[in-house]
Structure 1
Amino acid sequence: MTSIDNLSGLRKAAVLLVQVGKEQSAQILKGLREPEVEALTAEIARLEEIDVETSDAVLREFQELAAARHYYSQGGMAYAEEVLVATLGADKAKAVLARLTSTMVEMPFEFLRRIDPRMVLSFLQDEHPQTIALVLAHMAADQAAVVLSGLQEDLQADVAHRLAVMDRTSPEIVKQVEAHLERRLSTVLQSSDYSAVGGLQPLVEIINHSDRATERLILQGLEVRDSELAETVRAQMFMFEDIVMLDDRSVQVLLRHVETKDLAVALKGVKADVKDKITRNMSERAGTALVEDMEVLGPVRLKQVEEAQAVVVRQIRELEEAGEILISRGGSDEFVV
């Protein structure tokens, strides 16, 4: 059997991506950070012809590690070891677990994925905002949204701002926070390298998983602290004006679920292309009636317009969740709400 012990982790990853095919490789790369994508693609470009035995050995190692990680997630390291010994034998299991342990070093706070986020909230709500931001940056977006929405309003905005401007965190700080949670949650992971965490994208994903009320509070709080940052965040979220990015069929589906009176108020003061996107997907008679309704309304308070727009956006999200429409941003990239 071919040994691949002399291959670097980067080279193994490159071989694996080549073996799984273009479509799956693209999906994998989407989940990586930009420096990782650059390193992997460069390594793939440097690959020469790989023999079948080496490719098979890389795939076997990946399969073993994936199985080990699955067992670990089900019952911890002891359970993973027990199953692997029974499956692969003591020597092989030891080698697989050693590789698993080394890869786990790069995944701080992974244990939080197995904990009810409401429990995490109960432990974090009295912590320093920077500590909360650090933990949220490592959590899955849907879980982090639960935690963030459960915080007090002023604390929400503070944490959101810290999360957005966070860049790199010292390994000692990460270890201290993990050790603190270990004592309270009886779980621990370690990190040996600087962790690139936070930034706009995690914050946008968390907000998109939050309810509308939480979203508005966070954005309003960010506006007070950093108006430029708040505008940047809004630019990466789905807002009412993003209706222009919906395909015509999706707009037509939306119009069947929105009251004309809400639509008339929501369209007050918006750009012409937004109005045009709506009216183009209505019958001529209905479009004319909508424009007339808008004119009859006269001046409308900004708060009323925003509330009406929120109703429409909420309906868009519900339809997207139900699979009735597709929200996209920037060509073929899907924008998750």
Structure 2
Amino acid sequence: MTGPQKAAVMLVQMGKERSSKVLAQMDEEEIEALTTEIVLLGEIEPTTADDVLVEFYNELTGTGQLGTGGMGFARSLLESSLGKDRAGELLDRVTAGQIGQPFDFLQEADARQVLTFLTGENAQTIALVLAHLSPVKSSAAMTGLAPDMQAEVAHRIATMERTPPDVIAIVAETIMRKASTVLTPQSTATVGGVQPLVEIINRADPGTGKHLLEELAKRDPALAEIVRAQMFTFDDILTLDDRAMQIVLREVDAATLAVALKGVRTELRDKVLGNVSERARENLLEEIELLGQVRLSAAEEGRAAVVSVIRRLEESGQIQIQRESDDEYVA
């Protein structure tokens, strides 16, 4: 443990009243450094506490009264020492300096570079890193993984819970060493869970997305259903009411829509054609006919573009998507 870490353990063991008196004798820089360590401590192992207490020859050694660090203790301690307003300001600085920093240096890397930096890492490490990157970058990197690794990483992202800051720091340091000759470290991050995986799959190419869901269903059927319930595919336009469909169609250009409708089921085409004017319907049908044969990949890109518009409109609150888990509405 570093000196500040030991001091933080010591302050926690001493209790709020005694610790606040100690902090009152320090300058702001020292207080900020110790507060950072207290926030990161969490639950203190008995052996760790004993070692620190013995080292400081503290009179509390052997009492068995072990404390717990964390944000709550840090806030209470600082409010006793500095007052509520100053404590809030200091904790805001500490929080801003600690949350989300580890993997932002990868935000400047492209997907191929990210894959290079992750070469040789296990699925849990890759999942941790991708969960901290933007969905667009993560989905691009996911596409470059081997199929078996894709499925394993997807499952781990979806089931990921809180990761201890020291573990994140170790992983970030390992990846940063690989990237140090190419990238310059910066700062930011997020968390894992089902939603980041949904974002990654929604932005992946259709083939990768389908593979991930199929493999996830093999490993954890219930989890796969949760992921599917939160996703929106082109086929799901059938669930949109006419008003929402009309709003969507105003945002999609005719050329993209024509490509997207090539080869779709009759009910999907009818859903779109039933929500445009007669003139627009005639023009759209003519454009579809003039296209002739199109590559499946091109048609899927068109459908992905439509889905992207739908997701944007939902996020902005202009339309609402009815999902299986949502309550139904009555008039």
Q: TM-score scaled by structure 1?
A: 0.50
Alpha-carbon deviations, 1:99-152, whole Å to 9, x = none? 867622212212222233321211213210000000111111222122111101
The match for 1:238 among 232, 241, 245 is 232
Which one-letter code corresponds to 2:305 in the other structure?
Answer: E
Match of 2:264 in 1: 266
1:105/1:326 CA distance change after superposition, 3 Å: closer
The 1-side partners of 2:235 and 2:224 are apart by 16
| TM-aligned CA distance change 1:331 to 1:275, over 3 Å | farther
Q: Cα distance 1:330–1:209, how it changes in 2: closer, same or farther (>3 A)?
A: closer
Compute the RMSD of aligned alpha carbons.
Answer: 4.5
Query: Per the alignment, in what secondary structure is the counterpart of residue 229 of structure 1?
Result: helix
2:245 paired residue number: 247
Matching residue of 1:296: none
- Offset, 1:280: 4.8
Q: What does residue 128 of structure 2 align with?
A: 134
Other-structure match for 2:98: 105
State the match for 1:173 in structure 2: 167
1:239 and 1:313 in contact (8 A); partners too: no
**Residue 188 of structure 1: CA displacement?**
6.2
Q: Tell me which residue corresponds to 2:153.
A: 159
Q: Deviations over 1:270-309 (max 9, x none)?
A: 69xx95564454759x89xx9xxxxxxxxxxxxxxxx98x
The change in CA–CA distance for 1:116 and 1:251 in structure 2 (over 3 A counts) is closer
C-alpha distance in 2 between matches for 1:104 and 1:182: 18
Q: Note if contact 1:254-1:316 (Cα within 8 Å) is conserved in structure 2.
A: no
Determine the structure 1 residue equivalent to 2:314. Answer: 329
Which residue of structure 1 lines up, in the alignment, with residue 81 of structure 2?
none
The corresponding residue for 1:316 is 303
Query: Does residue 221 of structure 1 match 2:215?
Result: yes
Checking the alignment, whether the CA contact within 8 Å between 1:251 and 1:278 is kept in structure 2 is no
Q: Cα distance 1:326–1:117, how it changes in 2: closer, same or farther (>3 A)?
A: closer
1:160: how far off? 0.6
What one-letter code is carried by the residue in structure 1 that aligns with 2:96? Answer: T
Partner of 1:204: 198
- Residue 312 of structure 1, CA deviation: 5.8
| 1:197 Cα deviation from its structure 2 partner | 2.1
Matches of 2:312 and 2:190, distance apart in 1: 29
Distance 1:311 1:221 in 2: 25
Offset, 1:319: 5.1
Runs of 5+ consecutive residues of structure 1 not aligned to the other structure = 6-53, 62-94, 291-306
Count matched residues: 217
Identity of aligned residues (%): 34
Give the aligned residue type for 1:266: V
CA distance in 2, matches of 1:184, 1:256: 44
Equivalent-residue separation in structure 1 for 2:186 and 2:249 (angstroms): 46
> What one-letter code is carried by the residue in structure 2 that aligns with 1:215?
G
Cα offset, 1:327, TM superposition: 5.0
Gaps of 5+ in 2: 1-27, 29-84, 286-294, 321-331
